[in-house]
Amino acid sequence: MDVIGKNIGNSLDKIYEDISAKASANGYQEIVIESFEGGTFSSVIWETEKVKIRLHTGVPTHAMPRIFGVALQHVRQRLDKYPTVQKTDSDVIGGSLVRDALRELVLAPEANGHLAHLDLDTEWEDEQRHQGLKQLIKDAPEEFRHIGEPGNAFASLLYARYCFDHPEAMWKQLKKQFADELPAAAENGESIAEIVSKNGWATPNDALNSLRLTREELNLAAYVAIEDRLKSELV
C-alpha cells in the first residue's frame, strides 16, 4: 500500500478495507489520504461525502504504518459512535490543549489496542513523544504547577496518558522527572490514571464514563463538554 508517496507494505490493507467499507455504509463515498505539515503526526477531517486523513510528511516510512493505523482507528471510533470532547460557550486560554489531551487520554489507547496484534514499529513515535514530554517538563510554565489552572490540568492529563501509552522502561525515566518538577500534576495524574484504568475504553459507554469522571476530577466542566454520540447530545 502506498500513502503520501511511501510504500508501507500490506499490514494495514485489511483494516483499511474494513474501515473504508464502514465509512461507505455511513454515507461517506471515500477516504482520502493527504500529506501535510503541522504539529501532529496525523489528523482526520470529516466532510459531507468524504473523510480526509492527513499524514505528516516528516514521518519516516518505517514509522508510517503505525501513524496511519492510528488515524484509521480514529475514523473507526467516530463511526462506532465513541464519544469525543467539545468546547463549551465559555472557553479559556489553554482550553483547546486540555480538551485534546483529555480526548487522547482515552481514545489513543483504545485505538492502539486495535493495532497491537500487528506488531507495528513504534520506536520512532515513542522516541518523539519521549523527547517532547521531557522537554515540556523541563520548560514547564508556572501555571503547570498550580492546581485549578488549565496548564496543570493539561500536565495531569499527559501524565495519566503516558501511564497507559508509553513503553514502561521509557516512562519510568520520565515519571521521576515529572514527580520532581511537577508534583501537583503528577499527583493528579495518578488519580486520573486510576479512574481511567477502572472504567476503561472497551465500549463507547466505558469511554464516556472515563471522560466524564476525569473531567469531574479536574473540575473542567466550565470549558470542556463531552459529546455522547450514541445519544447525539452533549453531557
Lookup: cell for 161? 496518558
Percent of the residues in the chain that have a pLDDT greater than 90, as a whole number = 99
Bridge partner list, 56 = 36
Average pLDDT over residues 118-124: 96
The string of pLDDT tens digits covering residues 66-118 is: 999 999 999 999 999 999 999 999 999 999 999 999 999 999 999 999 999 99
| Residue 102 backbone zone (phi > 0: left; psi -120 to 50: alpha; other: beta) | alpha
- pTM as predicted: 0.95
pLDDT at 148 over 90: yes
The amino acid occupying position 226 is: I
What is the pLDDT, as a whole number, of residue 234? 96
Q: What is the pLDDT of residues 5-59, one digit of tens each?
A: 999 999 999 999 999 999 999 999 999 999 999 889 999 999 999 999 999 999 9
Beta-carbon neighbour count of residue 182 at 10 Å? 23
42-46 vs 50-56, strand pairing mode = antiparallel
Residues 6 or more apart in contact with residue 87 via CB below 8 angstroms = 95, 96, 99, 223, 224, 225
Q: What pLDDT does residue 115 have?
A: 97
Which neighbouring-strand residues pair with 33? 53
Tell me what the mean pLDDT of segment 151-160 comes to. Answer: 98
**Residues 21/1, Cβ–Cβ less than 8 Å:** no
Give pLDDT, residue 39: 87
Which one, of 168, 160, 166, 165, lies nearest residue 210 by Cα? 160
Is residue 202 within 8 Å of 196, Cβ to Cβ?
Answer: no
- Tell me, what's the pLDDT at 38? 84
pLDDT in tens, 175-225: 999 999 999 999 999 999 999 999 999 999 999 999 999 999 999 999 999
Are the beta carbons of 217 and 89 closer than 8 angstroms?
no
